[in-house]
């Protein structure tokens, strides 16, 4: 039997358990690639993901499903002082602050040791945050994955702020944009999450090709419920540690929910995902049930009449929508929320941007003769035909193998 090509993967987090957006994407893509490649994973263990050593050990064991060997570098415990230092150095050096927020020295030493011990046919760098390490790898055998267009994501976030914070985020957007223009041409292949993102990377004037590996859903794990949701409950899925999700909650509570409550005063809104104790006590969110982190979102999605995606800031494509679609659920989303997906307003999704339009759309899903079941069925069909992880990873493996064959 011909041995599999050896793939070294560098990730800025341990992608297990695969519950957050980026972790879901990385885990499932690597799981599919593992059918064609012998994978060695070098990853940063972050305190936000693995708080204790047993958590780290559990994550490493879980990553055994996607990699033959797993090497972990523990980040330094995050502090406000380190955050401030990273931004100050960023200002002085005119480099993105992410260049100073990962344990690059230990990662570099680990990678150099591995590359000295064996030959790797291909290298996968899982995010532009790891750009300072790209020089370690041969450009003609290196793939750079993009979870978003990070410069655009920062630019959109800046517009939601004011004063010094707005200026600081806008500066980071410019620095990351400059970094993208440097690193996108410096690899053999770029991987984008949507056609829209691929157009952006291609527009940078690089001759390096970009392939699209969209986010997907596990259509066997996420199945439509056997019984239709009968209650008046709506659900959002996503942790509040990510700014776009927090902004979505604030937008919903401040502007959308008061309109819906006029007609449906007993409406239950459940917000599923990580939340701090401060969030749970915040009177601003008193009309919404914040669950905090949950191991399995399926039961919450199953009982919802529709899924909410009131995002005003974002990038890439929304795993929360794909997984809801896989469960046959109607989704009400902003244009930004479903950006990059094969979303057809009124067919497999309902799109509304203003608070009033969003509230009206949710109300239409709550009516006795609402189209939620028909829209949910069309959504499931969309996922099955276009967003299966197995299909996506097979296409990606073909692109990776093409590089291997070109360089041997």
Q: How far apart are CA 293 and CA 215, in angstroms?
A: 22
Q: Which of 75, 72, 73 is nearest to 86 (CA)?
A: 75
- Confidence grade of residue 377 (pLDDT, cut at 50, 70, 90): very high
Residue 355: predicted pLDDT: 97
Residue 169: predicted pLDDT: 92
Residue 255 sits in the same domain as residue 146: no
Is residue 178 scored above 70 in pLDDT? yes
Residue 166 sits in the same domain as residue 263: no
Domain with residue 32: its CATH number is: 3.40.50.2000
Asked whether residue 115 is domain-assigned, the answer is: yes
- ∠ CA 330-336-339, rounded to 5°: 75
Q: The tokens of 35 are what?
A: 């059918």
Q: Is 16 exposed, middle or buried (0-12, 13-18, 19+ CB in 10 A)?
A: buried
Of all residues in the chain, what percent carry a pLDDT higher than 90?
77
3-state percent breakdown (helix, strand, coil) of the chain, nearest 5: 50, 15, 35
- Confidence grade of residue 206 (pLDDT, cut at 50, 70, 90): confident
Other Cβ atoms closer than 10 A to 45: 18
Residue 254 sits in the same domain as residue 139: no
Asked whether residue 227 is domain-assigned, the answer is: no
pLDDT digits (tens, 9 = 90+) for 95-112: 999 999 889 999 999 999
Q: The tokens of 135 are what?
A: 């020089």
- Segment among 106-115, 155-164, 181-190 with least mean pLDDT: 155-164
Other Cβ atoms closer than 10 A to 326: 26
Asked whether residue 48 is domain-assigned, the answer is: yes
Q: The tokens of 345 are what?
A: 């307003």
Residue 155: phi and psi, rounded to 5, are -60, -45
Is residue 317 scored above 70 in pLDDT? no
Residue 15 sits in the same domain as residue 148: yes
Residue 26 sits in the same domain as residue 136: yes
Q: How far apart are CA 103 and CA 74, in angstroms?
A: 8
Q: What is the mean pLDDT of the chain?
A: 93
Residue 393 sits in the same domain as residue 382: no
Omega prior to 17 cis, within 30 of 0: yes
- ∠ CA 106-107-112, rounded to 5°: 100
Q: Which of 266, 277, 269 is nearest to 251 (CA)?
A: 269
pLDDT digits (tens, 9 = 90+) for 268-277: 999 999 999 9
Angle between helices 319-326 and 372-386 (to 10 degrees): 110
Residue 159 sits in the same domain as residue 84: yes
Residue 182 sits in the same domain as residue 316: no
- ∠ CA 378-228-239, rounded to 5°: 75
Asked whether residue 102 is domain-assigned, the answer is: yes
Q: How far apart are CA 352 and CA 359, in angstroms?
A: 9
Residue 316: predicted pLDDT: 46
The answer to whether 327 touches 305, Cβ cutoff 8 Å, is no
What is the span of the domain harbouring residue 183? 6-216+388-406
SS3 at position 122? strand
Asked whether residue 222 is domain-assigned, the answer is: no
N-to-C CA span, the chain? 19
Span 351-380, average pLDDT: 94
Asked whether residue 273 is domain-assigned, the answer is: yes
Residue in the block written with tokens 């790209």: 134
The strand pairing partners of 271, in sequence order, are 236, 290
Residue 242: predicted pLDDT: 84
What are the C-alpha distances in Å from 367 to residues 214, 233, 253, 329, 355? 33, 12, 21, 15, 19
77 vs 352, residue with greater confidence: 352
Q: How far apart are CA 132 and CA 183, in angstroms?
A: 10
Question: What is the DSSP secondary structure assignment for residue 141, as one 8-state letter?
Answer: G
Residue 191 sits in the same domain as residue 58: yes
CA 237 to chain centre: 13
The answer to whether 327 touches 225, Cβ cutoff 8 Å, is yes
Residue 250 sits in the same domain as residue 299: yes
The answer to whether 232 touches 264, Cβ cutoff 8 Å, is yes
Q: How far apart are CA 179 and CA 123, in angstroms?
A: 20
The strand pairing partners of 72, in sequence order, are 43
Q: Which of 156, 147, 249, 155 is nearest to 190 (CA)?
A: 147
- Confidence grade of residue 315 (pLDDT, cut at 50, 70, 90): low
What are the C-alpha distances in Å from 301 to residues 309, 332, 376? 13, 13, 12
Asked whether residue 243 is domain-assigned, the answer is: yes
What total of structural domains would you count in the chain?
Answer: 2
Is residue 373 scored above 60 in pLDDT? yes
SS3 at position 234? strand
Span 231-253, average pLDDT: 92
Residue 128 sits in the same domain as residue 260: no
Residue 246 sits in the same domain as residue 350: yes
Asked whether residue 225 is domain-assigned, the answer is: no
């Amino acid at each position: 039997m011909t041995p599999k090509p050896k793939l070294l993967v560098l990730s800025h987090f341990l992608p297990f358990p695969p519950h957050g957006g980026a972790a879901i994407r990385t885990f499932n893509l690597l799981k599919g690639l593992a059918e064609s490649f012998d994978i060695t994973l070098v990853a940063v263990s972050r305190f936000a993901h693995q708080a204790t050593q047993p958590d780290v050990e559990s994550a490493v064991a879980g990553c055994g499903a996607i990699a033959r060997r797993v090497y972990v570098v523990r980040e330094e415990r995050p502090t406000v002082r380190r955050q401030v230092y990273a931004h100050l150095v960023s200002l002085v050096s005119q480099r993105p602050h992410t260049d100073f927020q990962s344990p690059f020295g230990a990662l570099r030493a680990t990678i150099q040791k591995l590359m000295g011990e064996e030959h790797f046919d291909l290298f996968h760098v899982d995010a532009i945050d790891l750009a300072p390490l790209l020089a370690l790898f041969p450009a003609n055998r290196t793939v750079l994955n993009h979870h978003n267009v990070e410069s655009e994501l920062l630019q959109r976030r800046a517009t939601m702020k004011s004063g010094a914070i707005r200026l600081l985020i806008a500066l980071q957007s410019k620095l990351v944009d400059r970094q993208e223009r440097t690193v996108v041409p410096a690899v053999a292949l770029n991987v984008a999450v949507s056609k829209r993102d691929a157009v952006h990377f291609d527009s940078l004037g690089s001759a390096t090709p970009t392939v699209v590996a969209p986010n997907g859903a596990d259509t066997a794990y996420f199945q439509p419920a056997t019984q239709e949701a009968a209650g008046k409950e709506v659900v959002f899925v996503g942790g509040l540690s990510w700014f776009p999700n927090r902004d979505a909650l604030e937008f919903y509570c401040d502007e959308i929910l008061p309109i819906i409550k006029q007609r449906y005063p007993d409406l239950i809104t459940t917000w599923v995902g990580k939340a701090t104790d401060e969030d749970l006590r915040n009177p601003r969110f008193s009309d919404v049930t914040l669950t905090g982190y949950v191991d399995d979102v399926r039961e919450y999605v199953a009982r919802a009449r529709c899924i909410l995606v009131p995002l005003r800031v974002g990038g890439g494509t929304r795993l929360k929508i794909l997984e809801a679609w896989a469960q046959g659920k109607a989704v009400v989303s902003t244009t930004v929320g479903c950006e990059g997906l094969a979303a057809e307003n009124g067919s497999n999704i309902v799109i509304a941007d203003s608070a009033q339009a969003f509230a009206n759309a949710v109300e239409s899903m709550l009516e006795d003769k609402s189209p939620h079941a028909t829209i949910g069925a069309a959504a499931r069909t969309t996922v099955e035909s276009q967003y299966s992880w197995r299909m996506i990873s097979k296409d990606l493996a073909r692109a990776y193998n093409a590089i291997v064959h070109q360089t041997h």
